[in-house]
Amino acid sequence: MAFVVGCGSDIQNIVFVSEVDGDAEIYVVDPESGVAESITDNRSQDTDPVWSPNGEQILYVSDSSGDLEISLFDRKSEHGSRLTNISRR
Protein backbone atom coordinates (compact mmCIF):
# COMPACT_ATOMS: atom_id res chain seq x y z
CA MET A 1 0.00 0.00 0.00
CA ALA A 2 1.41 3.43 -0.91
CA PHE A 3 0.22 6.95 -0.28
CA VAL A 4 1.51 9.89 -2.32
CA VAL A 5 1.98 12.74 0.10
CA GLY A 6 3.51 15.67 -1.71
CA CYS A 7 6.09 17.22 -3.98
CA GLY A 8 9.24 19.11 -3.10
CA SER A 9 9.39 22.86 -3.58
CA ASP A 10 11.05 22.35 -6.95
CA ILE A 11 8.33 19.82 -7.86
CA GLN A 12 11.03 17.42 -9.03
CA ASN A 13 10.58 14.78 -6.33
CA ILE A 14 7.64 13.11 -4.63
CA VAL A 15 7.65 11.80 -1.06
CA PHE A 16 5.40 8.90 -0.10
CA VAL A 17 4.84 6.15 2.46
CA SER A 18 4.84 2.50 1.49
CA GLU A 19 3.99 -0.42 3.75
CA VAL A 20 5.96 -3.58 3.13
CA ASP A 21 5.28 -6.47 5.51
CA GLY A 22 3.33 -4.10 7.78
CA ASP A 23 6.29 -1.74 8.16
CA ALA A 24 5.64 1.82 6.93
CA GLU A 25 8.72 3.42 5.37
CA ILE A 26 9.22 6.79 3.65
CA TYR A 27 10.49 7.06 0.08
CA VAL A 28 11.45 9.88 -2.27
CA VAL A 29 10.91 9.25 -5.98
CA ASP A 30 12.04 11.11 -9.07
CA PRO A 31 8.95 11.03 -11.32
CA GLU A 32 11.00 11.25 -14.52
CA SER A 33 13.23 8.25 -13.82
CA GLY A 34 10.83 6.41 -11.54
CA VAL A 35 13.70 5.69 -9.15
CA ALA A 36 12.56 5.54 -5.51
CA GLU A 37 14.97 5.91 -2.59
CA SER A 38 14.08 4.90 0.96
CA ILE A 39 14.92 7.57 3.53
CA THR A 40 13.86 5.34 6.43
CA ASP A 41 14.65 1.66 6.86
CA ASN A 42 13.79 0.37 10.29
CA ARG A 43 11.22 -1.68 12.19
CA SER A 44 9.21 1.35 13.30
CA GLN A 45 6.24 2.99 11.62
CA ASP A 46 7.37 6.11 9.74
CA THR A 47 4.48 8.18 8.41
CA ASP A 48 3.14 11.62 7.49
CA PRO A 49 6.14 13.05 5.61
CA VAL A 50 6.07 16.78 4.80
CA TRP A 51 8.65 18.73 2.78
CA SER A 52 10.33 21.78 4.29
CA PRO A 53 9.61 25.00 2.34
CA ASN A 54 13.07 24.90 0.70
CA GLY A 55 12.75 21.21 -0.26
CA GLU A 56 15.97 20.24 1.53
CA GLN A 57 14.43 18.42 4.51
CA ILE A 58 11.52 16.11 5.20
CA LEU A 59 9.67 16.09 8.53
CA TYR A 60 7.92 12.86 9.46
CA VAL A 61 6.33 11.01 12.38
CA SER A 62 8.03 7.89 13.73
CA ASP A 63 7.37 5.53 16.62
CA SER A 64 10.97 4.27 16.80
CA SER A 65 11.28 5.12 20.51
CA GLY A 66 7.97 3.49 21.41
CA ASP A 67 6.25 6.88 21.48
CA LEU A 68 5.28 9.06 18.56
CA GLU A 69 7.99 11.52 17.65
CA ILE A 70 8.69 14.07 14.94
CA SER A 71 11.90 13.47 13.04
CA LEU A 72 13.78 15.42 10.40
CA PHE A 73 15.61 13.94 7.41
CA ASP A 74 18.18 16.23 5.77
CA ARG A 75 18.60 15.40 2.08
CA LYS A 76 22.10 16.90 1.77
CA SER A 77 23.62 15.01 4.70
CA GLU A 78 21.29 12.01 4.23
CA HIS A 79 20.88 11.93 8.01
CA GLY A 80 17.72 11.72 10.09
CA SER A 81 17.30 12.95 13.65
CA ARG A 82 14.52 13.08 16.22
CA LEU A 83 13.21 16.57 16.99
CA THR A 84 10.55 15.85 19.61
CA ASN A 85 9.07 13.12 21.74
CA ILE A 86 5.30 13.13 21.95
CA SER A 87 4.19 10.57 24.52
CA ARG A 88 0.91 8.75 24.09
CA ARG A 89 -1.58 9.60 26.78
Per-domain residue ranges of the chain:
2-82
pLDDT at 88: 59
Q: What is the pLDDT of residue 78?
A: 87
Q: How many C-beta atoms surround the C-beta of residue 57 within 10 A?
A: 16
Query: What is the reported pTM?
Result: 0.80
Rounded to whole angstroms, what are the CA distances from 31 to 10, 14, 77? 12, 7, 22
Q: Give the model's pLDDT for residue 23.
A: 86
Please list the ranges in the chain whose pLDDT falls under 70.
1-11, 85-89
For 48: left if phi > 0, alpha if psi spans -120 to 50, otherwise beta; the answer is: left
Cβ-based burial of 35 (10 A; exposed 0-12, middle 13-18, buried ≥19): exposed
Q: What is the pLDDT of residue 59?
A: 93
Sign of CA dihedral 85, 73, 45, 13: positive
pLDDT of residue 39: 93
